[in-house]
Structure 1
Amino acid sequence: MKKLLTATTVATLAASPAFAAGDAFFSLRNTDFVVLIAFIIFIAILIYFNVPSMVTKMLDQRAENIGKELDEAKALREEAQSLLASYERKQKEVQEQADRIVENARAEATRAADQAKEDIRASVARRLAAAEDQIASAQASAVKEVRDEAVTVAIGAAREVIAKQMTASDANKLIDKGIADAGSKLH
């Protein structure tokens, strides 16, 4: 520190215009000399009261505080990054779970649609079978009615033909034969 003070004093004296002019520099009438003395006294007072070491101490404390704040900021940044990574993982897991739920819902809907189609096919087949049974029953009934009607018509026609061709003696013979057949079947 003393070397710095000596170098500052020499540089100030060498650069002074009064020194270059040739007047007596070490006179109290010379303002440059008075300012130099005041400056040297000021520097001496600062050194006496240990101001440079206090300033250095303050700067060191400030540097330490800034270092601590930087360390805290780094720690907070790392914590924030880990939280962000954690949330991103959770979001990815939730997205995957949502995708699985959607896929399961689609598969279930497809199964339900297939089951509904199968149920409709079975219902249509049952109804078709029932309709075919009804058609067959109606057809059989219609055939029976046609046969019954044909028999009735045939009997009526046969009666008319027989009535026209039969004589009274033939009728009596048929009656006697019918009574004999009934008697033999009953006994």
Structure 2
Amino acid sequence: MAENTVALTETEHHQPTLLGLEAEGWVYVGLTIFLLLAIFVGKAPKRIADALDLRIAETRRQLDEAKAIRAEAEALLAKAKAQHAASAGDAQAILAHAEQEAGDIISEAEKNATELTARRAKMAEDKIAAAERSAVAEVRARAAEAATSAAARLIAEQHDAGADKALVDRTIAGLNRVH
């Protein structure tokens, strides 16, 4: 029987298995994994490098675009500063011109006020002189009226019909004489 047992062990030839695979099966699995890794890992770094290259190119393009925008912004800033400086100079010139015009207007107004004052003083003097002439004429007229009235009264009191006859005769006699 011992011979029988030995024969059975040699013919059965039992090898250890893992997950249903023997050592030869695991060699095939390992080789397959190695080949797959070689294919994918060999291509993966290339794909990763290509993706990084694309990302680098996009970043460079964005940086170039940002530099162009910055240069344009700096040019606009310089232009704005130049316009501001020009505007400040223009504002100072306008202010100086306005001050000059204000001074001219003030001097013109002072001159006009002086002339107006002189004209009004002249008008007042003329009115005063006219009032004086009017008053003098009125006083003369009243004096002449008073003198005429007094003379008429005196004549009426002192001359009678006889005195009038002698006066009329003398006047008529004086008319015959030639001057």
TM-score by length of 2: 0.58
- 1:106 deviates by 5.4
How do 1:1-187 residues align onto structure 2 when only pairs under 5 Å count?
41=35, 43-46=37-40, 48-49=42-43, 51-98=44-91, 100-101=93-94, 104-105=97-98, 107-109=100-102, 111-161=104-154, 164=157, 168=162, 172=166, 176=170, 179-180=173-174, 186-187=178-179
- Residues 99-151 of structure 1: CA deviation (Å, up to 9, x unaligned): 54455445435533543453344234323312321221121121122123223
> CA distance change for structure 1 residues 163 and 53 in 2, over 3 Å: closer, same or farther?
same
Gaps of 5+ in 2: 1-21
Give percent identity, aligned residues only: 32
- 1:80 deviates by 1.2
Distance of 1:91 and 1:177 partners within structure 2: 106
- Other-structure match for 2:16: none
TM-score by length of 1: 0.56
Determine which structure has more spread, i.e. the larger CA radius of gyration: 2
- Other-structure match for 1:22: none
Answer with 116-125 or 157-166: which moved more.
157-166
Q: Which amino acid aligns with 2:137?
A: K
- Residues 22-51 of structure 1: CA deviation (Å, up to 9, x unaligned): xxxxx959x9x99997875555334654x4
- Aligned residue pairs total 156
Answer with 36-45 or 153-162: which moved more.
36-45
> CA distance change for structure 1 residues 34 and 139 in 2, over 3 Å: closer, same or farther?
farther
Q: Which amino acid aligns with 2:57?
A: E
Q: What is the Cα-based RMSD across aligned positions, in Å?
A: 4.2
The higher-RCO structure (CA 8 Å, 6+ apart) is: 1
Q: Which amino acid aligns with 2:90?
A: Q
Gaps of 5+ in 1: 1-26
